[in-house]
Structure 1
Amino acid sequence: MLIISKNKSFYNRLCQVGLLTAMIFSSQKEAAFAQVNADDSLPSNSQIQQQGNIYNITGGTEAGNNLFHSFEKFSVPNDGEAYFNNAVNVQNIINRVTGKSISEINGLIRANGTANLFLINPNGIVFGENAKFDIGGSFIGSTADSFKFNDGKEFSAINPEDKPLLSINVPLGLQYGKNPGNIQVKGQGDTQRSTPEIFEPKSGLQLPVDKTLALLGGDILLEGATLKAGGGRIELASVKEGLVSILPVEKGFNFDFDKLDNFGEVKLSQNTAVDASGNGAGNIRVAGKNIAIADSSVISSTQTGVEKAANIIINATVEVDINGINDTFIRSGLYANNISDNPAIETSNIAVDAQNLKVRDGATIVTNGNDALGGDINIKASNFKVENGGIFSAIVSSSGNGGNIDIDAAEVQVIGVGNNNNFSELSVSAKDNSTGNTGNLNITTNNLLVEDGGLIYAGTSGKGHGGNMTINATYKIKAAGQGGVDNQFSSGLFVVAEDNSSGNSGSLIINTEQMLVQSGAFVSASNNGSGSAGDLQITSDDLLIQDNARFFAGSISEGKRVRDLSIKTSNLLISGGSEVNAGISNLDGNLDIDAEDIQVIGTGNNGNTPTSLTVSASGQNVGNMNIKTKRIIIKDGAFLSTNALGEGNGGNLNINAEDIQVIGKGGNNPGNSNLPYLSGLFVTAESSSSGNAGELTINTKRMLVQDDAFVSSSTNSIGDGGHLTIDANRLRVQKGASIISGTSSEGVGGNLKITANSLLLEDRAKIGSDTSGMGNAGNLNIDADILQVKDKSQVTVEGETFGRGNAGILELNARSIRLDNEASLNASTQSTDSNREQATININSQDLILRRGSNIKTNARGENVQGGNININSEIIAAIENSNISADSENFRGGNVKIEAMAIFNTGFSDITATGANPDLSGTVEINTPYINSTNELSDLPSIPINTKLTQGCYSPGYAQNQFFIVGRGGLPPNPEDSLTPSAVRVDWVSPQRNSENISTRNRDIEIKSSTEKPERIVEATGWVSNGKGEIIFTADPPVAIADTSIKQAQNCEF
């Protein structure tokens, strides 16, 4: 019994398990084959007839041209079909799912005629790999709660209990609840194409041409999906709550999200393709909180016909992230292309509106018009970043003109190089052999950052013209660094006509508060082809160019006229080997700088590259450099220059400044035995050129040149040197510094003219117009109130050691001229040319003083070289302490010295000579002072005109007997031409009136003491010195050299 009982228990349990298993299998079978179930919520309910895997859907409730269906479940299994067997007069099939299950579409959805199909399921919709459409109209899939109509009626999926009064109108909108379900589309991905232009998928969700495919859910997840609406519209929107308005349009439906503020996620991954290519290039719009496109996924619209193209519009309340890190065969991104052969047909535009937009890791946003008009790209964002090889471009690849790029973002960043060594790029461009013009690139931002190999570019490689680049940054622009293998890519802003192009490059226009270009970055507007380069215009409160950075506007080919590089700023700093250059070859433009303060400082590249501001050309004429500023400082090896490198003439260098300082040296010049670079201002005709050097013109209140710095206008070629003109209130040249106009070749040196109130040269300084070649030196003209030349400094117009050209003429006009401590005025020569006046010094002054071995000389060196001439017209001349005036010749005839002076002070150690090779070849020395008639002799004066009556209390031995004479006029008449007449009236000696009352008192107050000190003898003065008060003190001993502390030097204390 017990065993039987146990067996019954086991049997009962077994029966229960079997019954449960049968129920499960029955349920699974029902789920597999009964996935489309109608509910009974309509006035006329839907009818479902299943024939195998086909669900034949009839019935439903008609209202006008609308047909309403209501399902408790709506899913389509693999290889299954949901067939809406509607009448052909039906225009809209409006469906809802009122149950609690997600709609899983793994098969075909089919309808008759051209009816549009609407499906809402608040629980969610999933399209599998085998899902597809066979409908003649549009498809709108949504996870909204209900349809709303403009007559106030509602077709709800969450409140189906009440029998609805259905509308005959097209739905007005989709009403979403607080937690709508997601829409997911799965597929095998688009792996059939390597370019986005042509797309004919064999699977996926496809509609007929000119229709709308809309997926509007909580989150939109496209994983290997394929969505195609040729020439029509594709709408993807992640809506979390609110009302989405529906508006019928020509190609289906348009949806209005403007009143919504609660969006979700939209993700495209695993080679997803969203495509509206066709005749008229359809409209694609994506809306969400965050939108991500990755894994070779693309959104594309290609124009193939003649209708007007629509647009690709991306709207995100937070972020759009286009990421190509896992791309395989095609770059993830947004593509608008045109393969129409009609040049008037437009390409689709691309518009992105988001808080944050990222295009990174090889991803791209691009428009390409080919033979037609290119599409525009418009970006509006708070933060826009292209990084790690991302590409953002409007391209011209054939005859059509390119589209424009307009970016309005608070922060714009173009950064880095990708894993495939592609630099990040924001560009408008024209490809090789194209004939269309490039579009323009416009950026409006608070801050722009381009670094680590990032590139912003507007250029052409074809026959068309390049576009303009305009950047308006409220606060700051920074371009910095390099990237790629071996740092092969320089970060920067480029407007370029590339090699083999024939079009003109565009202009680069920048407006910002602060601009920083550093660490090898570039800013360039150039032409490498046969066209002309554009302008480069910078307006910035502060412009800093540092650490081997480059600014360039010009041509490096045989292009046409290059336009100008223009900089307007409050503060300009160029340092660390950086370069600002207008022109390298051919006919180049001007460099214009208007700044409050300019500093050009130092060297870079381990001291091998000097910091510079240059204008140069190897072809035709060089442009000019024009600088207007309050203060400019060039120091530590930096320089400013205009250079003629070819057949053309060099440009002019014009500086207008209140304060100019050219100071020092720095770095190591590998082309000059690693000697330091000298700071300077240069205009030069180089040895490779045949043109003339430009002119250097300086207007300033104060100018300081010191510490071996150089200011020069020179020629090293057959072309002539340019003139150098300085107009300054105060000019100081010191510590080995030089101002030179010279020639080292066949060309004639330019003239040097200096006008200054105060001009000081000290400590080996030099101002000269010299020749060290076959060409003649220019003339040197100095007009100054005060000229001081001190401490081995020199003013020259000489022929230097290897110079065979004629020395120049030195013209000095100054109220006061001081030469001190081996200073010199030099017009020495080695030229044998006697047919041209040369090596001449002409001096006009009120006083000319030479001290402590200083010289004025026009000496000659070499065979048959005649000494130059010296002409001096001065009221007072003093040449003392072995200071000489000479016009000698070592091997030929001496020159001539002619002096006109009211008075000449000279000592036995100072000479005025015109010595030749021998006495017969000596020149002449002519000294003219005021005429004195020798017949008007001096009158004899008494030896002791006054009796030396001494008080008896004074001890006066004879060893120190002094004498005192009152000579009146010194025996001289009032005028040298007059005779001595007794014009004076004799006045007798007057005895003072005694006051008897006070005599005794005064005598008591005076204590008479005998002096034991020896009185000093009064001796004749033989010299004089000047003290710190500017007073002249006569001395009996030879004067001891003391520093000249004349108060006149104080005029230079501002340097």
Structure 2
Amino acid sequence: ESLLSCREDDRNSGHLSQPLRRKTLHNPCSWQSRCWQLAIALLVGISGVVFSLGNRVLAQSNIVPDDTLGAGENSVVESVGLIEEIKGGAQRGQNLFHSFLEFNVDVGREANFLIPVPAIQNIFARVTGANPSEILGTLGTVGDSQPNLFLINPNGIIFGEDSQLNVGGSFVATTANGIGLDNTGRFSASEPDSSNLLNINPDVFFFNRLSNQAEIVNHSTVGLQVPEGNSLLLLGGDVSLDGGALLAPGGRVELGGLSEPGTVELSMDANNLSLSFPDNVARADVLLTNGADINTQAGGGGSIVINAQMVDILGESILLAGIEQGNGSVDSQAGNIKINAKGKVNVSESSSIDNVVFGIGDGGDIEITTASLEVTNGAQLSSSTFGDGNAGRVKISASDTVRFDGVGTNGSSSAAFSRVNPGAVGDGSDIEITTASLEVTNGAQLSSSTFGDGNAGRVKISASDTVRFDGVGTNGLSSAAFSRVNPEAVGDGSDIEITTGSLKVTNGAALSVSTLGEGNAGAVKIRSSNTVRFDGVGSAVLSGVLSGAVGNGGEIQIITGSLEVTNGAALNTTTAGEGNAGDVKITASDAVRFDGVGNNGLVSGIFSAVTSEGVGNGGEIEITTGSLEVTNGASLNSSTLGNGNAGSVKISATDKVSFDSVGSNGGSSSIFTAVLPGAIGNGGEIEITSDSLELTNGAQLFAGALGNGNAGSVKISATDKVRFDGVGNNGNSSGIVNSVGPGGVGNSGEIDISTGSLEFTNGARVSTETFGEGHAGGVKITATDIVRFDGIGSNDLSSGIFSSVGIEAVGDGGDIGISTGSLKVTNGAQLSANTLGKGNAGDVRITVTDAVRFNGVGSNRQSSGVFSRVLSGAVGNGGDIEINTGFLEITNGAVTSASTFGEGNSGGVRITASDRVRFDGVGSKGASSGAFSSVQPGAAGNGGDIEINTGSLEITNGAVISASTFGEGNSGGARITASDRVRFDGVGSNGASSGVFSQVNQGAVGDGGMIQITAGSLFLTDAFISSQSLGTGKAGDISIDTRQNLETNRSSIQTTTLSGDGGNINLWVGNLLLLRDNSQIATTAGIAGAGGDGGDIIINAEFVVAVPRENSDISANAFNGRGGNITITTQGIFGLQFRVSLTPLSDITASSEFGLNGEFQLNLLSPVDVTQGLSELPADTVTSELNQSCQAGGSQSAGSFINTGRGGLPPDPTEPLGSSDLWEDVQLPKKASTDTTDLPITNSGKLIEAQGWIVNQTGQIELVAQLPTANSQWGCSLR
């Protein structure tokens, strides 16, 4: 849309469409009306002449000779009818001098200087009187030579409307005081007596007046014309062409003047006369108005030169040079148009300066040197070719300002053109502007283009201060700079080059390079030391290969301090034809900012596109800067709708890159690369390298494939941090999307993020997905510090990473890989790999050196965690979940879950933690924390295994490890390996016990998975290790191997089946197997009253211990099937007794209610030598004496020593033994001997009961009556 709305003023071919020698047209469609105007003017003129002649038929011109030349050399005037013949004069070789008091030529009359001899080359006519000359008729020369004619009148010279020239050579009219002849010659009008007449060419004009130099005015609508190849010079004072015309075909027209005393040098090269003005003398002004016309067109040559203080070219006036139609040759060169003004040049009111080739040959240049230039109200500068030859340059040099503004009353834009027109063969040339500041406003244009067979020229701007393009003209055309290869043209466009302090392109203005024909478009190259700003709807840089074109687009290059593209402005590179679009390359040392949406709904940004008609690749977008902001709906967009690849988007920022918010049109701030519907080609990559990156409030990075081709990858490298946060008011989550859309055929790209720290919060997410035919890409995250996913967005979506195969898609999901120092996934955030179509879900692989924490449930009731799913309707396998870390914590309802709801196996969960793993608690919505593997109802496939390798494992307060099947397939197993200990403890607020579960649920078809635990020690409190089948399949086995103890408290290790065989339980315990408080080790088959043999129980333990009255059992039972076998290999069993059936006591049973009982086999290991490690007592004992000395007195019973065994001590030294604590002798009592021997008692004084003990100096322990002061909190005392 931008390329179509931003159009060049094709109606203006430099105001030219006809090869005319004068008064050429400003618009092709106005030719007839202009002819009528000329006809009416001619009739009016003729009427005036007739009226005048009717009143002055016999009037004579006022030509009065003076006598300053001396006797015999004074001028003589004779009237012959309407002709004044001027004879006499002073001859000096090739020079003929005339002098007059008055010199005027009346209307309808002629004044001719007669040439006395053929040798005359120059005729000088001066006016020594006080009045200006009025040339209202014809002024000429007659004779056998073609001398140059000089008319000198310091009082002024006026040419009337009907005035004309009939000279054989060049013509010079001047208000100078005199003319110099080499160093000694002089011909002065103001001081005639000082003249020194010589036979040499004149070389200087003298201006002696201190101020108010007289002017030269030309009203001649007929035109003052010199023969072809000659010169026409008007030298004032001020020079004014008020409707007048000057014609010097193939020659030279030069205008200028001085406003203070000085000299102007004259050079004569045959018929080519030229002036040289001093730099240190004030100049006079030059004015062209009311259709004034200067024309030097011919078969070659033809120059126009203006030297002045101020130059005004107004009222449809025209300066025209070049080569006429039908004239010229391959060697022909048109002359230049040069304007040199110390002050200001003003070209306005549809006036023009044109250097045009209509014939054969090269056009000349247009050169303007001034302090300031204004081209306004439809005025134009044009260097063009309609014929066979190259156009010349338009070269502007202004020390202050250059301004192009507005549209003329004829609808034409103010402009500077270099153009190869239709039918022409040749190259356009450059438009060069050097100034302090440049403004192109209100529809004005700078245009270099080709419509014919040839290359367009450059538009080259150098402004030390500012360049500004602003607005749209009343003709609907943008203020712009163009370089274009137009339809049917054959040739390359050229570059637009801007070098400045700051550049502004605003309110619909544009810089455009394009090709619509056969040839490459040029580039746009901007270099600004300060700022570049594009603002407003339609404000743009455009590079395009448009419909029907064959060629490549040009680059857009911007080098600046800072760049802003706002409120709908855009940088656009497009191919709609056959060729590649150009690249966009931005280098900004400070900052780049794209912001907002225009009032027409179009977004600010950079756009690289292959349109639906295009055959070629899109251009690259490259930004190198300090910082980048893309906000309020702005976008960096690279896409293909045609046959070709989309370009990549590459950003490199030393500081920060941020994308934020949503535009007023509902679009997210974004980077967008896509293969769109109908396209054939690959999407472009997105690469961001920066210190930090933020995408917030709905901002997105999107790489997609909706056509036939692969989506591009997304690669982010940020040395400090990457942050994605929030949801936009359009409901879009902040984040990254890499997608194969519906109907797309191709793979989505990879997402790769490398940074110090990474955050996804409040609904932000990364998504890689396929909804078409192709694989989803993977997500790879590397963060040296931390990765954090947290919370739910306002759109009720979880923060996280999501890899999915969508409904009806055919392809595999991508893997998710995270490598970091620490990872947190909290408050409903998720890492998820799913398949809903035909294809496998991706794996999730997490490698963290420190800790991984999954915590909580989101407000959308979604658990935090890691998920791998084969969803309902999908055909494919789920991906594995792998976590490698130092420490893993899953709490408050968070999970790791691998499941299948469709047709395919679920993935596995593999956890490796060098330190420990902790699962704890229940979420706010009642979901248990834990690790899950499941085959869900309606699914057909096997569940994946859960594997945990760690130093220690804690599963507490309702957290679980669960492998289950509800559908058609086997559940996965659970394998736990812990070098230290494993602890399952507690019941959650949802009533669920902590534990490990392998379950075949009711209605499922499949076997349960095996539970394997290898640990240093295992502790269960209010927990379960359970393998259960409520379907038709077998429950999985349970295998536990501990190097130390296995202790259970109100807990169960069990396998249960509804109708199938019970699973086996194998326990290898290095030390003690302890069952407390209704703990169970049990296999049960056929709990529904159906068949199924009980599973076997094999126990290898140093000791097997239970409390008899706590009803802790070891049982292998069945209902109709055979009871399972129990084999225990141990040093000893304590507190348990084998019984036929279960009792309220602690039992060992292997029974079947209606089938055969199982067998119980006890394998006792060799008894332990209890004497090992005991010290030998002393030979002499004093037991009797001590007993008698310490005997209790009175009726007190004898003292006793009790071995309490394990558990017999209070739990804390400050507490008494509880009544529930059990004391039990472990050997039969022996009857005490009644034989006693009384020994004499030696009275050794009052005995005091020992109050404590000390270690004496020899290291021996002594009982003491007086307890010494101790540092311990508790005293040690014997009772």
Q: Tell me which interval the TM-score lies in, with the shorter structure as reference length.
A: 0.7 to 0.9
Structure 1 counterpart of 2:670 = 550
Correspondent of 1:315 among 417, 434, 437? 434
Structure 2 counterpart of 1:765 = 894
The answer to whether 1:899 aligns with 2:899 is no
**Aligned mates of 2:1130, 2:824 — CA distance in 1:** 55
Matched-pair contact (CA < 8 Å) for 2:205–2:266 = no
Structure 2 counterpart of 1:25 = none
Structure 2 counterpart of 1:878 = 1019
Q: CA RMSD in A?
A: 4.1
Deviations 1:188-234 (A, max 9, x none): 69xxxxxxxxxxxxx67564465433434323333344333346533
Q: In the superposition, relative to structure 1, how do residues 170 and 978 fare at CA in structure 2: closer, same or farther (>3 Å)? A: farther
Structure 2 counterpart of 1:393 = 512
The answer to whether 1:914 aligns with 2:1055 is yes
Residue 529 of structure 1 and its aligned partner are, at CA, apart by 1.2
Correspondent of 1:852 among 986, 990, 1007? 986
Correspondent of 1:777 among 906, 923, 929? 906
The one-letter code sitting in structure 1 at the alignment partner of 2:419 is: T
Correspondent of 1:220 among 294, 304, 311? 311
Deviations 1:234-267 (A, max 9, x none): 33443249xxxxxxx996689796xxxxx53322
Matched-pair contact (CA < 8 Å) for 1:229–1:282 = no
Matched-pair contact (CA < 8 Å) for 1:238–1:266 = no
Matched-pair contact (CA < 8 Å) for 1:187–1:204 = no
Deviations 1:315-365 (A, max 9, x none): 222x221111xxxxxx42112121223xxx321221112222111112121
Correspondent of 1:513 among 609, 623, 626? 626
Matched-pair contact (CA < 8 Å) for 1:1023–1:1034 = no
The one-letter code sitting in structure 1 at the alignment partner of 2:1057 is: G
**Aligned mates of 1:361, 1:429 — CA distance in 2:** 21
Matched-pair contact (CA < 8 Å) for 1:394–1:427 = yes
Q: In the superposition, relative to structure 1, how do residues 366 and 254 fare at CA in structure 2: closer, same or farther (>3 Å)? A: closer
Q: In the superposition, relative to structure 1, how do residues 648 and 66 fare at CA in structure 2: closer, same or farther (>3 Å)? A: farther
Deviations 1:99-130 (A, max 9, x none): 72343333223111212444443x43333345
Structure 2 counterpart of 1:81 = 163
Q: In the superposition, relative to structure 1, how do residues 229 and 453 fare at CA in structure 2: closer, same or farther (>3 Å)? A: farther
Residue 903 of structure 1 and its aligned partner are, at CA, apart by 4.3
Residue 980 of structure 1 and its aligned partner are, at CA, apart by 3.8
Structure 2 counterpart of 1:662 = 788
**Aligned mates of 2:1209, 2:319 — CA distance in 1:** 106
Matched-pair contact (CA < 8 Å) for 2:367–2:395 = no
Deviations 1:148-183 (A, max 9, x none): xxxxxxxxx8346x9999998975843244643333
**Map 1:77-476 → 2, pairs under 5 A:** 77=159, 79-83=161-165, 85-87=167-169, 98=207, 100-107=213-220, 108-121=223-236, 123-143=237-257, 158-159=261-262, 173-177=276-280, 179-187=282-290, 207-208=297-298, 211-223=302-314, 224-230=316-322, 232=334, 233-240=336-343, 263-278=370-385, 279-288=389-398, 289-296=400-407, 297-304=414-421, 305-317=424-436, 319-324=437-442, 331-341=443-453, 345-354=454-463, 355-362=465-472, 363-370=479-486, 371-417=490-536, 423-476=538-591
Q: Secondary structure at the match of 1:914?
A: strand
Q: In the superposition, relative to structure 1, how do residues 938 and 85 fare at CA in structure 2: closer, same or farther (>3 Å)? A: closer
**Aligned mates of 1:35, 1:400 — CA distance in 2:** 64
Deviations 1:598-656 (A, max 9, x none): 43433344261111112222321111111111111111111112212211111111111
**Aligned mates of 1:1025, 1:533 — CA distance in 2:** 78
Structure 2 counterpart of 1:672 = none
Residue 689 of structure 1 and its aligned partner are, at CA, apart by 1.4
Q: In the superposition, relative to structure 1, how do residues 934 and 235 fare at CA in structure 2: closer, same or farther (>3 Å)? A: closer
**Aligned mates of 1:607, 1:734 — CA distance in 2:** 29
Correspondent of 2:815 among 665, 683, 695? 695
Deviations 1:289-339 (A, max 9, x none): 22221222122121244444332122222x221111xxxxxx421121212
Structure 1 counterpart of 2:750 = 624
The answer to whether 1:492 aligns with 2:577 is no
Identity %: 19
Structure 2 counterpart of 1:52 = 107
Residue 564 of structure 1 and its aligned partner are, at CA, apart by 1.9
Q: In the superposition, relative to structure 1, how do residues 861 and 467 fare at CA in structure 2: closer, same or farther (>3 Å)? A: same
Matched-pair contact (CA < 8 Å) for 2:203–2:266 = no
Structure 2 counterpart of 1:523 = 636
**Aligned mates of 2:543, 2:521 — CA distance in 1:** 8
Greater mean deviation of Cα atoms: 502-511 or 771-780: 771-780
Q: Secondary structure at the match of 2:776?
A: coil
**Aligned mates of 2:921, 2:671 — CA distance in 1:** 41
The answer to whether 1:795 aligns with 2:931 is yes
**Aligned mates of 1:988, 1:765 — CA distance in 2:** 64
Structure with higher Rg: it is 2
Q: In the superposition, relative to structure 1, how do residues 37 and 388 fare at CA in structure 2: closer, same or farther (>3 Å)? A: farther
Correspondent of 1:988 among 1175, 1178, 1183? 1178
Q: Secondary structure at the match of 2:1009?
A: coil
Residue 583 of structure 1 and its aligned partner are, at CA, apart by 2.5
**Aligned mates of 1:817, 1:795 — CA distance in 2:** 12
The one-letter code sitting in structure 2 at the alignment partner of 1:286 is: I
Return the TM-score normalized by structure 1.
0.76
Q: In the superposition, relative to structure 1, how do residues 795 and 293 fare at CA in structure 2: closer, same or farther (>3 Å)? A: same
The one-letter code sitting in structure 1 at the alignment partner of 2:165 is: Y
Structure 1 counterpart of 2:973 = 840
The one-letter code sitting in structure 1 at the alignment partner of 2:524 is: I
The one-letter code sitting in structure 1 at the alignment partner of 2:739 is: S
Deviations 1:254-283 (A, max 9, x none): 9796xxxxx533222222122221231122
**Aligned mates of 1:35, 1:1026 — CA distance in 2:** 143
Q: In the superposition, relative to structure 1, how do residues 252 and 593 fare at CA in structure 2: closer, same or farther (>3 Å)? A: closer
**Aligned mates of 1:497, 1:738 — CA distance in 2:** 41
Aligned length in residues? 884
Q: In the superposition, relative to structure 1, how do residues 660 and 301 fare at CA in structure 2: closer, same or farther (>3 Å)? A: same
**Aligned mates of 1:36, 1:571 — CA distance in 2:** 88
Q: In the superposition, relative to structure 1, how do residues 904 and 282 fare at CA in structure 2: closer, same or farther (>3 Å)? A: same
Structure 1 counterpart of 2:1225 = none
Return the TM-score normalized by structure 2.
0.64
The answer to whether 1:731 aligns with 2:852 is yes
The one-letter code sitting in structure 1 at the alignment partner of 2:580 is: H
The one-letter code sitting in structure 1 at the alignment partner of 2:954 is: R
**Map 1:596-635 → 2, pairs under 5 A:** 596-606=719-729, 608-617=731-740, 618-635=744-761
Matched-pair contact (CA < 8 Å) for 2:579–2:616 = yes
The answer to whether 1:863 aligns with 2:1003 is yes
Structure 2 spans left out of the alignment, 5+ residues: 1-55, 70-89, 114-121, 126-145, 173-200, 324-333, 345-360, 408-413, 473-478, 662-667, 858-863, 923-928, 988-993, 1059-1085, 1104-1127, 1135-1164, 1183-1201, 1222-1279
Matched-pair contact (CA < 8 Å) for 1:336–1:367 = yes
Matched-pair contact (CA < 8 Å) for 2:257–2:285 = yes
Matched-pair contact (CA < 8 Å) for 2:429–2:448 = no
**Map 1:9-24 → 2, pairs under 5 A:** none
Matched-pair contact (CA < 8 Å) for 2:170–2:232 = no
Matched-pair contact (CA < 8 Å) for 1:439–1:467 = yes
Q: In the superposition, relative to structure 1, how do residues 222 and 102 fare at CA in structure 2: closer, same or farther (>3 Å)? A: same
**Aligned mates of 1:184, 1:1023 — CA distance in 2:** 123
